[in-house]
Chains A and B, each alone.
Chain A
Amino acid sequence: MKTTLKFTAAAAVVLAVGACASKPEPVEQVEEQAPVEVVDNTPTVTEPVDTKPVGPTGPVAGSLEDFRVNVGERVYFDLNGYRLDSDDQEILKRQAAWLEAYPAVRILVAGNCDERGTREYNLALGERRASIVKDYLVSLGVNPSRIDTISYGKERPIAAGSDEQAWALNRNGFTQLVSGTTS
């Protein structure tokens, strides 16, 4: 029984990851083949893992799980890119609306890069990506004082692979809820 529950939770996260990765080109493949490894690794570094199985009523409103499943915590960038396409903008609009509904929540936007760049350039590129996400959220009315940014360059991959699919996942802007969520 336990195993089944775990599997259900993992599957839910797979869906969440898939929902974020809705860009036309490389990320589409991800939706179909997102490896389970990605799921295991996503939450471990920067956030506590919410092991609660998703019940029939869905995640608690205003919770981290709610944000993950119903909003989407990452936007994905093109190779060497830092522009937000319409899919990214949709996710950020949902994030802004969610943040408006839960005004106590503070966020840290992290800019991440794939491993196919050099370390220092990627730190700068990650900072640029994080800033672009922040600027967009601010343009949608989120108070800039609620948003911190950080660049991890290529230091925080979510997919361990070394292929196009993993790199596409690793080029992201990650909105991490730092405080103020309902648990």
Chain B
Amino acid sequence: MTRILTMLMLAVFMPLSLALPAAAQLQVRVDEGNFKPTPLAIPDFEVRGENAEMAQDIADVVRADLESTGLFDIQNPASFIQKDLSIDVQPRFPDWRIIQTEGLVVGAYEELPDGKIAVSFRLWDVYGGEVMRINGQPGRRLTTTPDNWRRIAHKIADSIYTRLTGEDPYFDTRIVYIAETGPKTERVKRLAIMDSDGANQQYLTPGTNTVLTPRFSPSAQEITYMSYEGGRPRVYLFNIETGRQELLGNFPGMTFAPRFSRDGQSVLLTQAQGGNSEIYLMNLRTRQSRRLTDHPAIDTSPSMSPDGRAIVFTSDRGGSPQLYIMNTDGSPRTCPSGGRDVACRITFNKGQYSTPVWSPRGDLVAFTKQLGGRFYIGVIGIDGKGERLLTEAYLDEGPDWSPNGRVIIYFRESRPGAGPELWSVDLSGRNERRVPTQTDASDPAWSPLLE
């Protein structure tokens, strides 16, 4: 049945698209210096079923997602002139040009006989006077069970975002973080997870043990994090579906600062014993681990490059915490300073640098910087060039990248004594905004795009 409807839909879409000319289309530039958000109209969806409220909710989530990028000015429905929109009919472009709409999303919500719901939409280039094809199609139709409606909304927003910006999608993702409650001296810390927009918050651990620094596996099925379970600080794996927690490795001393390798086959972590911290790479299948660093200074917070060939980490071997890059196989590198060394320092400006996270695109490292009693989130090229500070506060810490490498999430204590909150910022430094959580929150990590 679903297939027949899809085919019907395609049949309806085809002639429309054939009739339209190919011209220079609407393109939203994410890096433009003199930036102005693009006006986008997303009228309520056509309702072909009983649950008009759900249709409304889906459209609301699509609007909120797109609005949250800071790239779009989502227009007020009260200003819309054309009220008789239908997904099967070309909109009256002049009606939209008058209110300066550039992109128009027309959607339809349906309830299917098998209990599922379907949402179809088209994206119109108002000034170009044509439909914008998505994956070669003049529209998209998504089907799911009603309880999954938010994911449909996120996928629609992702399609529109990707089509208009050329960037990879990132709304249909989740965020894992540490939920914090209680006074500072008796803090309760729980592992928590939510959708990228803050919906569907769930707590994964009861708070009897302090847990810290969760990070997603590339499959988004597992989390690695540190727990004080049994009074010993060690790295664990947590399976989101089964809720099962598993100790990772059998190291003496403490293990912390875990992060998956990009292929998900290994976990990078730090082991500390006798006052010395070193970075290890543990293969999850064989459970064999290999030490990567060998230095009496603190070496911690490893993050792997997308190609797996190198790691960036924090070390105070130079006297204060700074960022270093080394090859995963331990072979020497040519350093930004010109010489060859096993580990190359990449931060030379004033201040202390820590919590490096290699960008999904491979060209940048996000970090926390401390200077003059303030904390900053910034990025720097892997060659140590082009440092840019994106945020500043009493405490800004622990950046992580959206899977498309456009947005950075981190936590902030806005002033002395304020509890931590999650915030995000665009790579351009624009669009700093709070990510809502039910409690104080820290140590956010972004999942890959969900399957």
Residues of A within 8 A of B (CB): 41, 44-45, 80, 82, 115-121, 123-125, 127-128, 131-132, 135, 150-151, 155-163
Contact = CB atoms under 8 A, between A and B. Distances in A.
B210 A120 contact: no
Contacts of B276: 128
B402 interface: no
Contact of B275 (A120, A131, A162): A131
Given A118-B397, A151-B254, A155-B189, 20 more contacts: A44-B185, A116-B395, A118-B301, A118-B398, A119-B443, A120-B256, A121-B298, A121-B316, A121-B321, A128-B275, A128-B298, A131-B273, A131-B274, A150-B254, A151-B233, A151-B272, A157-B184, A159-B185, A160-B184, A160-B185
Contacts of A155: 187, 189, 210, 212
B449 to A, nearest CB: 26
Interface string B162-202: 00000000000000000000011111010000000000000
Contacts of A160: 183-185
Contact of B368 (A118, A132, A135, A151): A118
7 contacts: A116-B373, A118-B301, A118-B354, A118-B370, A121-B316, A128-B276, A128-B277
Contact of A158 (B185, B316, B320, B397): B185
A119 B398 contact: yes
Interface string B254-287: 1011000000000000101111110000000000
B355 interface: yes
A128 B272 CA distance: 8
B186 A127 contact: no
Nearest to B373: A116
Contact of B395 (A80, A115, A157, A161): A115
Nearest to A116: B370
Contacts of B213: 119-120
B161 to A, nearest CB: 31
A120 B256 CA distance: 7
Given A120-B270, A132-B275, A151-B233, A127 B254 contact: yes
B416 interface: yes
Interface of B: 183-187, 189, 210, 212-213, 226, 231-233, 253-254, 256-257, 270, 272-277, 298, 300-301, 314, 316, 320-321, 354-355, 368, 370, 373, 395, 397-398, 416-417, 442-443
Nearest to B226: A123
A158 B187 CA distance: 11
A72 to B, nearest CB: 20
A128 B315 CA distance: 13
B300 A124 contact: yes
Contacts of A157: 184-185
Given A151-B233, A161-B417, A123 B398 contact: no
B186 A120 contact: no
A46 B232 CA distance: 13
Contact of B417 (A121, A151, A162): A162
Contacts of A162: 416-417
Contacts of B231: 150
A45 B186 contact: yes
Given A115-B395, A162-B417, A123 B300 contact: yes
Contacts of B226: 123
